[in-house]
Structure 1
Amino acid sequence: MTALEKKQLALHAFQEFANGNIDVLRPLLREDFVEHSPGNPSGRDAFIEFIAQAPVAGAQLDLRRVIADDEYVVMHYLMTTSDHPEGEVVVDIWRFVDNQIVEHWDVVQPAIAGML
């Protein structure tokens, strides 16, 4: 897949997920998916079960930018939940092999006015 194709695939999945469709992750994540965030499980099924219960599943997601190359897609967005109405800034890094995500890293921090 080209960088543009990966970007479009990730954008579609992001939009579907933001609209509450968690099942969009199943074909996108490889079965042996590796999650690098401490405390979050690896493996497609374990990760999907975890993320379905995580605050992000019910959050408002305001995508600000997407950067892609031949292997990675990086998404930068504001995540707003009832627990954090001021929002949290998130950067997700997804590594693709063919048309599936094989690894994920993220950084999350409280939003500060004007930081996005």
Structure 2
Amino acid sequence: MKILTLKRMMALALCGTGFVTMAQMKRNFKQEEANKKIVVSFYQGLFGDKDYSVIDKYIALDYIQHNPALADGAEALKNAVQIWMKDVPKGKVNFQHVAADGDLVFLHVKTFGPTGKLTAIAEIFRVKDNRIVEHWDVIQEVPEKSANQHPMF
């Protein structure tokens, strides 16, 4: 019978829970940068420039949408944004943070919502084969008063 050392047991436990060491995981920073460019170009094109053709350029046909107000697929996104953006002027998207980790790209955006109030948006996109294949978002109006001294941006 083989006796496992504490180090070996910890390594097995971490691997079994999905954790890996940095030596085991090789990040592809070049691909992460490319993914960030794809997402930022898409987002600025769609929400800043109001160019709906970016959906065909960047969104996979079988796009998965986690926003409960939208159906899956590129066509559903096209239909929704044409309604949302009907009277919205073009402008520069105010990206506060852009980060990537593997195939995920994270955006933190400062904007004005449909009510005209300052709004914070956190977006997560999954990129595969240079196309956006999945999306999550959290949208929150910035309150007039905060319980702390930390700004949302």
- TM-score category, normalised to shorter length: 0.7 to 0.9
Aligned residues: 115
TM-score (norm 2): 0.67
Structure whose alpha-carbon radius of gyration is higher: 2
Query: Which one of 41, 51, 73 corresponds to residue 81 of structure 2?
Result: 51
Q: Which runs of 4+ in 1 moved over 2 A?
A: 55-61, 83-86
Q: Closer, same or farther in 2 for the Cα pair 1:64/1:56, shift >3 Å?
A: farther
Output the CA distance in 1 between the equivalents of 2:82 and 2:97. Answer: 24
Output the CA distance in 1 between the equivalents of 2:96 and 2:44. Answer: 13
Q: Percent identity?
A: 23
Output the CA distance in 2 between the equivalents of 1:66 and 1:31. Answer: 24
The gaps in structure 2 that reach 5 residues or longer are 1-29, 145-150
The gaps in structure 1 that reach 5 residues or longer are none
Query: Which one of 106, 112, 116 corresponds to residue 74 of structure 1?
Result: 106
RMSD of aligned residue pairs (Cα, Å): 2.2
For residues 1-116 of structure 1, the aligned pairs below 5 Å read 2-17=31-46, 18-55=48-85, 58=88, 61-81=93-113, 83-112=114-143, 114-116=151-153
**Between structures 1 and 2, the one with greater strand share:** 1
Contact 2:39 2:132 in 1 (8 A): no
Stretch of structure 1 that moved more, 40-49 or 55-64: 55-64
TM-score (norm 1): 0.86
